[in-house]
Structure 1
Amino acid sequence: MNKRTALGAASLVAALTLAGCSAGESVDIDGADSVDGDVLIAAIGGEPDQLDPQRTSSYFAFEVLENVFDTLVAPDENLEMQPALAESWEVSDDQLTWTFDLRDGVTFHDGSEFTSEDVVYSYRRIIDEQLANAWKFAAITDIAAPDDDTVVITVAQPTPNLLSNLGGFKGMAIVQQENVESGDITTAPIGTGPFSVTGYSSGDRITLAANSDYWGGAPELAGLEYRFISEPATALAALRAGDIHWTDVVPPQQVSELESDDTVQLGLTPSSDYWYLALNEAREPWSDVRVRQALAYAIDRDAIVQAVSYGTAALNQLAIPEQSVWYTEYDEYSTDLDTAQALLDEAGFTGGTLDLLATSDYPETVTAAQIIASNLEPLGIDVEIRQPDFSTWLDEQNTGNFDMLMMGWLGNIDPDDFYYAQHHTDGASNAQKYSNAEVDALLDAGRIETDPEARKELYAEAATIIADEVSYIYLYNPSVIQVWSPDVTGYTTRADRAIRFDEASLAG
């Protein structure tokens, strides 16, 4: 699945809101066991398209839903999988049977009991309805609930990335069957997480109340309020005025200023995301590897990184960032127009137009497109930039209506997340139509190799071929940039961009 942020409008749900509360005001939240305390107000860059965690592809939705739902296992700050709804698990000697022991006494927000049947239902829904994460279950042959406290997952082959597949939050939350079948999940979701949705005012805000019965311990906060603020200047002004406590609507050009601002706390950490360009190999001349390599040599990555991130992103010619244990060093494509021109000459390419698909919903793609147009002009390539909204962008990508596109992948953990769906011949997100039998074999082998060092070598070899043959032109790994009030404690910026406030509190 392409883990990209999508903007969208959500429906209005009639429920209690906290609209009258000022930042940090002590409130009494109806429907949340009358918990008194502080409400943390967060500004996010847009409105979720819906609140069904298995159907949405909106990062704005996940920013909210991370605090509403749980997964069977969950990554910690180092992106290593830890117990969540499953408190422990065992793997059979042949690596084909995984047995998960569930926590006792977990309940959904409406008080109903959480059991193994909820896990089976959630996973079967993803598989049967072919939702975006169905590919993560490709190796699974059976999901069973022998009793209320046990889930048994059988796989066809050793699957070393099973835990990361089940624990990467986006799309893998455990849902309640009644909430799904009633249709209420899209606007009034019921989960097992540390907070429950209590109000949704479309175009304005979503409010959450603390779950005092949360299995991980009741949050110190009484609730959360998410406001939709798309303008960075507005969000930062609201933070400095004390109207909000936290935001990730932060312009990278202000990072240096914020670092020296004692009135706010800056969170800046390298992410596990990456941004890339892809050329449509189903079209001439982009099917010629020499033409693709020429463009990889022509593009000025330094200029792109400076323009879109003001130097906060890390240049990378592969997908996996340097801080990861799966990182592979690769530095082939320094900007070199002479080499680019020689490759084009060898391929017999004498110039033409290039349809570059960006999107107005991601201004960085438009900025990068303008730099790329300038980079390619000396080679006789006239870049025509299109910038539709993201929904149209997705349609154009999925139908192959582009020469080149730019986008990012978010929420990656396991090396399989970075490469399989994007570059395997049968990959679900191989929009560029790349196909290499050797890469397919390496990626297939990586999915079943249980020795970490051997597995790392497989992915390093596959990644190098992918870059050599320019399935993607990798650009950079962005940083996670967030800002919050010094009154906020217990919150940490994470490489996977997970926004979790279950351990946060407000001073004063």
Structure 2
Amino acid sequence: MKTKRIIALFLVMVFMIASLTACGSTPTTSQADPNKHLTVGLWYFGDGLDPTQSWNGWTLSRTAVGETLVKLDANSKIVGVLADRWENVDAATWKIHIRDGVTFQNGNPVTAEAVKSSLERALKLCDRATSLLPVKSITASGQDLTITTTEPYGALLGNIADPLFTIIDTSVELTNVNTAPVCTGPFKAVSYTLDKSIEVESYDNYWGGASPLGKVTYVLIRDGDTRTSALQSGDVDVAQAIDVSSLSLFENNPDYTISKVPSTRTALIWLNFSNPILADINVRKALAYSLNREELSGTLLGGIPATGPFSSSLPFGNDKLSAYDYNLDKAKQLMADSGLIDKNGDGYVEKNGKDVQLKLVIKKGTDNSTEASYLQSVFAKIGLKVIIEMADDNLAAMADKNVAFDIGVGNINTGTTGDPQYFLELYFKRGASENYGHYSNTELDSLIGKLATEMDTQTRCNIAAQAQQMILDDCPYLFMAYTNNNVVCKSNITGVEAYPIDFYLMNNTVDIK
């Protein structure tokens, strides 16, 4: 696909994909086999299928029910989906051509007007959408869509790859949009049961060719051990995100195939600035120096040690940043410098004569429990007492104002749009929706703001490097590892591959042999 000046405007993620054993691919067929029924175990659903709500669009993408105008392919390059070409007319105007011959799953044609209506719905209903797309106007003529932004905006194309902007048919009654939206993918939603299952069936008139599968059932299995057991027992045919500690059960086993690639995820820790102990930069740096990232990435998390938010394999990552090594002596000295000293000899520090205790929140799961216990023991080495709270949804728990947390642990997609702006804005700017630790730095906010209007690729990389160094210097987060994505399937399943971004999974080539 040729685009006019687009490559200079958007940063493309370059990954050396290290696949262990990829489940193979098959040619597309023209008609589904109603007798072919696949069952897939997922680790996350969301609370419905309306893409404008929460992170539900990611579920539409994983299940191949919904599609966006563009996406990131297996090599993390921007490619067209519902859009087959685009042009940057001027600094704030984008002309996008909608692929001819595409229909919604009810047979209605996908026109530029239909796409316009879907995008405008997302912008109306979702604050995250307006933060991703500063739209001045959207116009439609035939199959040509024109988006005009309020200012030059270098991240636009990558941002509309976010499944939040999944295109749905808004001309139909939207009463059931949260359980059965009308989308454009190779599978159409039949039913959604909260926290349990999603049933989909093949859409035979899919523009890319019908899936050979008749039906797919997705079951929510949050716990990693349970997901592993379900695959071993045959309750599921495919399982996403098998725990690092369980992968060996399927390696060198002819009954299963594994696809594993470096991901766009960073295992990280939020530090809550609402706690005056953590508002102290010496304490934050002490925590950073206490982490043995080689050990964390090698034994617990998989992947490679993290320096900052972005892996250096991303063009906007940087391996020359000044970060934190493993140095317990320096960590203890920083604690003492801030008056956190163990005076009663119990092994834990006090501050002004009062015991210090921090709450760590992490998602439920065996591997996560092991990780939490490891961090608890690590922080104890510098005198910090940490209690652990396991949550069904750690991010929701941290976002809940009624839930007090001090240390939040998660594994976050940091490069989902092929550009640094999205993640930096969403997690580090003052008041941002994912800034759970209430971090605020006006200088950093101003620096991130420059990305909105900067169009030169190298300058954008330089700004991203400056922002990352500022974050490391201020230490509002701790970065542990750049992790891997994996999918394990029965050996008779073909066409399933892990992607660097884990909201891509099912497609119209997956088959049962």
Q: Specify if TM > 0.5.
A: yes
- Counterpart residue number, 1:382: 385
**Mapped pair 1:407 → 2:397:** no
CA drift at 1:500:
3.5
Asked if the contact 1:220–1:502 (Cα under 8 Å) also holds between the matched residues in 2, the reply is no
**Does residue 28 of structure 2 align to residue 45 of structure 1?**
no
| Percent of matched pairs sharing the same residue | 24
**What's 1:459 paired with?**
464
* 1:340 CA displacement: 1.0
Counterpart position of 2:178: 186
CA shift in 2, pair 1:354/1:123, >3 Å: farther
Structure 2 residue 44 is matched with structure 1 residue 54? no
Question: Shift in Å at residue 117 of structure 1?
Answer: 2.7
Task: Give the one of 165, 175, 193 matched to 1:172.
Answer: 165
SS of match in other structure, 2:432: coil
Structure 1 residues 429 and 360 mapped into 2: Cα distance closer, same or farther (>3 Å)?
Answer: closer
> What letter corresponds to residue 103 of structure 2 in structure 1?
T
One-letter amino acid matched to 2:317: Y
Match of 2:435 among 430, 433, 445: 430
1:209 is matched with which residue: 201, 204, 207?
Answer: 201
Structure 2 equivalent of residue 3 of structure 1: none
| Contact 1:268–1:481 under 8 Å retained in 2 | yes
Which amino acid counterpart does residue 116 of structure 1 have in structure 2? Answer: A
Q: CA deviation at 1:257?
A: 4.1
1:141 aligned residue (123, 131, 136): 136
- Give the aligned partner of residue 23 of structure 2: none
Aligned match of 1:13:
none
Please, which of 341, 344, 347 is the counterpart of residue 338 of structure 2?
Answer: 347
SS at match of 1:38: strand
The separation in 2 between residues aligned to 1:393 and 1:499, in whole angstroms, is 23
Task: Give the match for residue 335 of structure 1.
Answer: 326
Q: Secondary structure at the match of 1:272?
A: strand
| 47, 60, 81: which one aligns with 1:84 | 81
Using the TM superposition, give the Cα deviation of residue 242 of structure 1 relative to its aligned residue in structure 2, in angstroms: 5.5
Matches within 5 A, 1:194-273: 194-200=186-192, 205-230=197-222, 235-236=227-228, 239=231, 244-248=236-240, 250-273=242-265
- d(CA) in 1 for partners of 2:397, 2:229: 33
Instruction: Give the partner amino acid of 1:333.
Output: Y
CA distance in 1, matches of 2:106, 2:160: 24
Please tell me whether the aligned partners of residues 121 and 177 of structure 1 are also in contact (alpha carbons under 8 angstroms): yes
| CA deviations over 1:251-309 (Å, ceiling 9, x no partner) | 32132342211221111111101121122223313222222111111233344445533
Which amino acid letter does the alignment assign opposite residue 177 of structure 1? Answer: T
- Which whole-Å CA distance do the structure 2 matches of 1:202 and 1:472 have between them? 32
Write the letter of the residue equivalent to 2:502: R
2:36 and 2:512 in contact (8 A); partners too: no
Aligned to 2:70: 73
Distance in 1, matches of 2:162 and 2:58, equals 16
Contact 2:31–2:212 (8 Å) recurs in 1: no
**Distance in 2, Cα, partners of 1:428 & 1:392:** 11
- What displacement does 1:89 show? 1.1
C-alpha distance in 2, partners of 1:82/1:113? Answer: 22
The alignment covers a number of residue pairs equal to 469
TM-score (normalizing by structure 2): 0.83
What is the CA distance between 1:48 and its match in structure 2? 4.6
- Cα gap change, 1:109/1:406 in structure 2, threshold over 3 Å: closer, same or farther? same
Partner of 1:222, secondary structure, is strand
- Shift of the alpha carbon at 1:182? 3.3
User: Which one-letter code corresponds to 1:117 in the other structure?
Assistant: E
Preserved contact between residue 397 and residue 431 of structure 1 (Cα < 8 Å): no
Higher relative contact order (CA 8 A, sep 6+): 2
Q: 1:464 to 1:385 in 2, by over 3 A?
A: same
Matched-pair contact (CA < 8 Å) for 1:294–1:343: yes
Gaps of at least 5 residues in structure 2 are 1-29, 342-348, 351-355
Q: Deviations over 1:425-465 (max 9, x none)?
A: 35332222323333223211223222211211110111011
The Cα shift of 1:363 comes to: 4.9
SS of equivalent to 1:125: helix
- Counterpart of 1:259, as a letter, is E
Write the distance in 1 (CA, Å) between the matches of 2:127 and 2:175: 16
1:111 lines up with 2:83 in the alignment: no
Q: Residue 486 of structure 2 aligns to a residue in which SS?
A: strand
Q: Which amino acid aligns with 1:349?
A: L
Question: Contact 1:143 / 1:151 at 8 angstroms: preserved in 2?
Answer: yes
Say what the alpha-carbon RMSD is for the aligned residues.
2.9
Q: Which residues of 2 match residues 441-460 of structure 1 at below 5 A?
A: 441-460=446-465
Residues of 1 paired with 2:161 and 2:318: CA distance?
24
Partner-residue secondary structure (3-state), 1:151: strand
Q: Does the 8 Å contact 1:44/1:60 carry over to 2?
A: no
Deviation per CA, 1:342-401, whole angstroms, max 9, x where unpaired? 222333333342422313535554433322222222433222323343278435555683
Residue 490 of structure 1 and its aligned partner are, at CA, apart by 2.8
Supply the distance in 1 between the matched residues of 2:232 and 2:278 (Cα, whole angstroms): 49
List aligned pairs for 1:277-356, cutoff 5 A: 277-306=269-298, 308-309=300-301, 312-329=302-319, 330=321, 332-350=323-341, 351-352=349-350, 353-356=356-359
